[in-house]
């Protein structure tokens, strides 16, 4: 278990961190059972670190050296509360509006199917096709995931083009221009929201495209997220070996869940972040979440970007961004 005796020092090399470094390096991330910590990948402390410039105030989306280092070594970084409270409130309103539209669309959908006991519906919502996953309790009609979601509400459409997302995505993808690959709305309703088992996203996409290395994700927290309401979790450093073997003999979806002997759950990091925060994570990062056992919702959007000009996942359309 990791832990920091000094909250303002690197846990491995004990180098004290300056306040800008601390702020840049995810003070909100926690390892289960420990206090706040700052992870320090081995090459932190190289000469460039001390000189790492903070992003200029007028270009908050440029990647810092610390973020690049975290991306390389950890497979994720977080930007706490990049959306103002009123912006996040508007996104929550949009989420509920789309969820109501999905509720209305479900009974008239002609394509419903069950995989490993979980129900899926191909629905037309706001005149757009979307896949809806229902909650896992037998008979539940509660919407769990909607994909893709940005065509279903103008606020989500605008989010795709938001420079707070597109500029870092350009840096992560290494391309001057980016497009959306897919995007989802994950609703974890109070007491009902089910877990997401440990998985990587890249194995879902390998049969569809050959650029899975260039599909970074960003999760936008619409609610304050914590362990109790089933916050997002990642396995630090799990992206470095690319797509990992999945579980065998465990239903249709088993191969898409990462085999437990391929990672160490002790490396799990909780994304306990305030609403409006953005968690950027690699398509190869093993991630998941526990059920929501609390009385609070845990709603989130997950957007996946790719180089511009490429078509969306399962949709015969190109949606360039920014
Ligand atoms: O929202 C979560 O808790 C997990 C989401 C996830 O794993 C996914 O969308 O691939």
Q: What is the DSSP string of 102-116?
A: HHHHGGG-SEEEEET
Query: How does DSSP classify residue 241?
Result: G
For ligand 1, atom 6, name the residue with the nearest CA.
288
What confidence tier does 62 reach under pLDDT thresholds 50, 70, 90? confident
Domain spans, the chain: 19-52+60-321
Ligand 1 pocket, mutate which of 75, 182, 232 (most atoms under 8 A from CB): 232
Q: Is the pLDDT of residue 49 over 80?
A: no
pTM here is 0.83
Query: How does DSSP classify residue 243?
Result: S
CATH code for residues 19-52+60-321: 2.60.120.620
User: What's the CA gap between 60 and 71, in Å, rounded?
Assistant: 17
Q: What's the confidence (pLDDT) of residue 115? A: 94
Q: Under a CB-based contact definition with an 8 Å cutoff, are residues 194 and 298 in contact?
A: no
Comparing 22-36, 42-56, 195-209, 277-291, the range with the smallest average pLDDT is 42-56
Does the Cβ of 196 fall within 6 Å of ligand 1?
A: yes
Tell me the CA–centroid distance for residue 232 and ligand 1, in Å.
7
User: What's the CA gap between 319 and 161, in Å, rounded?
Assistant: 10
Q: What's the confidence (pLDDT) of residue 47? A: 30
Q: Under a CB-based contact definition with an 8 Å cutoff, are residues 122 and 109 in contact?
A: yes
Task: Return the SS3 of 54.
Answer: coil
Q: What's the confidence (pLDDT) of residue 61? A: 66
User: What's the CA gap between 144 and 153, in Å, rounded?
Assistant: 17
């Amino acid at each position: 278990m990791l832990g920091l005796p000094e909250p303002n020092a690197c846990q491995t090399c004990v180098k004290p961190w300056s306040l800008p470094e601390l702020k840049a390096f995810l003070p909100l991330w926690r390892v289960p059972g420990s206090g706040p910590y700052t992870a320090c990948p081995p090459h932190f402390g190289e000469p460039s670190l001390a000189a790492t410039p903070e992003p200029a105030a007028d270009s908050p989306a440029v990647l810092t050296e610390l973020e690049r280092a975290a991306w390389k070594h950890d497979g994720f970084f977080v930007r706490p509360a990049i959306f103002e409270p009123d912006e996040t409130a508007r996104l929550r309103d949009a989420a509920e509006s789309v969820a109501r539209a999905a509720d209305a669309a479900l009974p008239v959908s002609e394509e419903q199917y069950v995989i490993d006991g979980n129900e899926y519906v191909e629905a037309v919502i706001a005149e757009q096709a979307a896949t809806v996953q229902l909650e896992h309790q037998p008979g539940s009609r509660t919407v769990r995931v909607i994909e893709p979601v940005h065509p279903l509400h103008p606020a989500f459409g605008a989010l795709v083009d938001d420079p707070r997302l597109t500029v870092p995505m350009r840096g992560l993808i290494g391309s001057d221009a980016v497009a959306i690959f897919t995007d989802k709305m994950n609703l974890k309703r109070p007491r009902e929201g089910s877990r997401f088992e440990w998985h990587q996203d890249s194995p879902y996409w390998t049969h569809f495209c050959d650029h899975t290395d260039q599909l970074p994700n960003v999760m936008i927290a619409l609610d304050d997220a914590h362990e109790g309401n089933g916050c997002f979790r990642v396995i630090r450093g799990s992206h470095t070996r690319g797509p990992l073997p999945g579980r065998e003999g465990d239903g249709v979806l088993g191969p898409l869940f990462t085999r437990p002997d391929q990672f160490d759950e002790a490396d799990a990091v909780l994304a306990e972040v305030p609403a409006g925060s953005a968690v950027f994570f690699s398509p190869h990062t093993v991630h998941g979440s526990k059920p929501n056992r609390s009385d609070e919702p845990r709603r989130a959007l997950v957007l996946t970007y790719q180089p511009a000009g490429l078509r969306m996942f399962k949709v015969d359309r190109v949606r360039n961004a920014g």
